[in-house]
Amino acid sequence: MRDKTNTTVEQNGNSLSAGACPNLTDEALLSLAQPNHFNQIPTTRLFLAKYRTYPSTLLCETDADDISFHVTTILNYLHGELNHDSSKDCVERKYHRRTKQKYDQSRLSDLGNGIMIAFMDSCLESEVQNPNKLKADHGDDYFLILPEIKIYYLPEHESSVQDLSSQFSKMTIFSSKSCTLQMVCRNDCGYYLRGIKIKKPLITDLALHYGQSFVSTHDKILKHLNEKESKGIVLLHGIPGSGK
């Protein structure tokens, strides 16, 4: 009969963790992190140094390219709900010429319980739409936004991190994108098109603005325009003020 093999498993707190490295030297521990490029905050290295465990990560992204997280609203949530002291965060600041204000380009928040939240490459933006009625950071409706947030955490916090991600998804701003409207014009030489740049409107309820009966017409137009090699002109008619 074969002898039994004794197996020891490293523990981190009260939970088992595949990434726990309590017996490594500091040099060996930090070597597990990737090189720090572009002088960004070395989040993985800081996590390893403090918790001596290689972190699990969750990348929080929005549903579309024109939606961004609002950093300040999220920080207020962390302070109000989790008692996080943002004055202890690691911050990289940058000067914004138009507002003449310094803003947090990058920030690392350590919640102190095995969760670190990295806000990287934030920017101040004024060309936004704000359906969630969030409070602006500076005058002229400037908002501190970023496209994604990365959470570093110990495995036992999986459920809490998922809840955080769900909360963050409610704290968003819509970027105003421009599009070109081609107007059919006429002069002595005949008809021609003139491009007019407009801000892309944010319409969250088509039926509310254009009537329930227009929803099926809208779907039909989009289906036709998305057909391969589709051609033709869509003519919308109605009484003045109907939103043609």
Strand partners, 115: 153
| Residue 59 covered by a domain | yes
Residue ranges of the alpha helices (H) in the chain?
26-30, 43-51, 71-82, 158-168, 206-210, 212-225
DSSP symbols for 207-240:
HHHH-HHHHHHHHHHHHHHTSTT---------ST
The whole-number pLDDT of residue 244 equals 63
| Residue 97 covered by a domain | yes
pLDDT tens per residue across span 87-102: 999 999 999 888 888 9
pLDDT tens per residue across span 169-178: 999 998 766 6
User: Do 21 and 131 belong together in one domain?
Assistant: yes
> For the residues 56-81, what does the mean pLDDT come to?
93
User: Do 154 and 220 belong together in one domain?
Assistant: no
Residue 2: is its pLDDT beyond 60?
Answer: no
User: Do 109 and 150 belong together in one domain?
Assistant: yes
> For the residues 149-170, what does the mean pLDDT come to?
95
| Residue 18 covered by a domain | yes
